[in-house]
């Protein structure tokens, strides 16, 4: 889970080790049984030359990439398997290798793949999906599909009040995503609950069996790419704090770094994790 660094906040994650003999069907059944936003599976405790092979499942299906499972699983590998002998871990995911580096202050930083920018959408469509008035959407910036391995609609709002007010109309939501690569919706605004944070975020991913996600590293990576691509803060580089999960009583904090140089955008998303339980799944 992400900051605050205390129990019962952030985003839950179950990590299973040494599951190379388990079928994809059984992994999906376990993920459905656990019923967290995601469950990750480390196929072997033995590192291969390119890193550790990992698969990630939501309650409904496997995903090629997800952010908080990447950081949480890397923490398990770092602490439990490698026993902190190195500060660099590579996870081989469906989207490709994702490196995670642990800094002395305890943060894990994952470097995401280059963002891809997809279609833009009319504000009135997303306003209807989100139960908002069109005036609550910040029309200075586009509503756009962005992916760093898992696509999201990025929707800019003007105020925290609008962010809190949003309620997804499921019929309109499922109608919207029938013909789009993006299945998740990330809304954000430049106001925050906590001092020192630059943006507030909410993420809706009912398609994957998660009505609202407490902390979404993949979506926030897409947001980081979007912010520098459109110079949201007036520059090609950001180093900001993004809060999420307050509306569902799972407050989370993610750190976002991104820099645009020519056609390239480098993105890193950081966070902390805490272990809350260990056990055996029979």
CB atoms within 10 A of CB 106: 13
Estimate to the nearest angstrom the gap between the alpha carbon of 216 and the chain centroid: 2
Q: Across the strands, what pairs with 250?
A: none
Active-site residue, from 21, 26, 33, 38: 38
Give the Å distances, CA to CA, from 147 to 108, 142, 159, 191, 251.
21, 15, 24, 24, 24
Could you tell me the two tokens for 250? 């799972």
* Rounded distance between C-alpha atoms, residue 59 and residue 205, angstroms: 11
Residue from 113, 116, 110, 149 nearest 269 by CA: 110
Examine the residue annotation and report whether 116 is marked as an active-site residue of this protein: no
Please list the active-site residues: 38
């Amino acid at each position: 889970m992400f900051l605050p660094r205390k129990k019962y906040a952030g985003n839950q994650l179950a990590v299973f080790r040494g599951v190379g003999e388990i079928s994809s069907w059984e992994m999906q059944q376990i993920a459905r049984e656990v019923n967290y936003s995601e469950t990750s599976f480390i196929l072997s405790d033995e590192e291969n030359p390119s890193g550790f092979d990992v698969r990630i499942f939501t309650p409904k299906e496997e995903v090629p990439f997800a952010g908080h499972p990447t950081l949480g699983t890397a923490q398990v590998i770092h602490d439990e398997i490698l026993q902190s002998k190195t500060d660099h871990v590579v996870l081989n995911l469906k989207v490709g290798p994702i490196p995670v580096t642990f800094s002395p202050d305890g943060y894990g930083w994952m470097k995401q793949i280059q963002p891809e920018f997809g279609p833009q959408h009319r504000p009135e469509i997303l306003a209807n999906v989100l139960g908002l008035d069109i005036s609550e959407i910040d029309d200075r910036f586009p509503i756009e599909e962005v992916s760093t391995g898992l696509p999201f609609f990025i929707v800019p709002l003007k105020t925290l009040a609008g962010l809190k007010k949003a309620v997804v109309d499921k019929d309109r939501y499922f109608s919207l995503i029938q013909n789009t690569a993006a299945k998740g919706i990330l809304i954000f605004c430049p106001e925050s609950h906590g001092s020192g944070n630059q943006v507030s975020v909410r993420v809706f991913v009912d398609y994957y069996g998660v009505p609202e996600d407490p902390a979404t590293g993949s979506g926030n990576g897409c947001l980081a790419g979007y912010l520098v691509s459109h110079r949201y803060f007036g520059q090609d580089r950001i180093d900001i704090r993004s809060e999420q999960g307050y509306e569902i009583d799972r407050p989370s904090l993610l750190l976002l770094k991104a820099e645009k140089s020519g056609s390239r955008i480098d993105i890193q998303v950081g966070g902390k994790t805490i272990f809350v339980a260990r056990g055996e799944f029979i």
